[in-house]
């Protein structure tokens, strides 16, 4: 997930004229902005659900399973580059139907058990539909990356209709997020020419962090007597 946040920047701030003209050639910038608005609304819907679940767990169990929640919308430039890279059709239907990560939410939890509990509670809600799940915790990527990825659909209620929108939700522990943030910084600086030993060391760090997560969860369970 792109870590940049879209707060209130204009399209012109994020995309050069060539890319903009290619993306908006047939359907216009206003339609694009409408779709981005709907994705922002979808993020608000899912984020509110997550915050409500966290509040409920805080009341019932005297503990917040969620440490932090961050959200982002892909920039127009990133959208264009992905459509071009994947060979998808350059139109607005692609934005609504074929791209699953335009709207993204990252949820950071304290323990691994919290990840699956939050994912389960979110996807069991009546108006949430689980489209895809990739468990990179049980089956990590080759570089050691771990996180639970969900793509969900949520209804957005507009003045004249209901629009179903997709949101990608990534859920990970504090330790996993720490590793991913540092790996991201390293990757975009020197990884293209990195020696194999550095890649191996990053993988080793990821494995050590995961073992620490497991041990911390075990300690917590022993303290609670379960």
Active-site positions read: 168
Residues 6+ positions from 70 with CB-CB distance below 8 Å: 5, 105, 106, 108
Q: How many other CB atoms sit within 10 Å of the CB of residue 135?
A: 15
Region label for 62, one of left (φ > 0), alpha (ψ between -120 and 50) or beta (otherwise):
left
């Amino acid at each position: 997930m792109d870590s940049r946040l879209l707060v209130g920047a204009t399209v012109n701030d994020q995309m050069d004229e060539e890319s903009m003209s290619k993306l908006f050639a047939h359907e216009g910038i206003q339609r694009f902005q409408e779709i981005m608005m709907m994705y922002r609304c979808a993020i608000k819907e899912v984020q509110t659900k997550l915050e409500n679940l966290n509040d409920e767990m805080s009341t019932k169990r005297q503990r917040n399973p969620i440490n932090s929640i961050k959200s982002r919308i892909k920039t127009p430039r990133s959208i264009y580059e992905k459509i071009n890279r994947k060979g998808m059709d350059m139109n607005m239907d692609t934005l609504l139907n074929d791209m699953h990560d335009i709207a993204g939410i990252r949820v950071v939890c304290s323990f691994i058990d919290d990840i699956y509990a939050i994912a389960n509670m979110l996807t069991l809600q009546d108006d949430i539909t689980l489209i895809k799940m990739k468990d990179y915790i049980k089956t990590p990527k080759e570089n050691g990356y771990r996180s639970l990825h969900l793509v969900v659909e949520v209804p957005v209620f507009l003045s004249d209709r209901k629009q179903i929108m997709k949101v990608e939700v990534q859920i990970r522990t504090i330790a996993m997020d720490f590793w991913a943030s540092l790996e991201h910084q390293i990757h975009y600086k020197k990884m293209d020419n990195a020696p194999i030993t550095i890649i191996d060391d990053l993988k080793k760090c990821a494995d050590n962090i995961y073992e620490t997560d497991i041990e911390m969860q075990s300690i917590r369970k022993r303290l609670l007597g379960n």
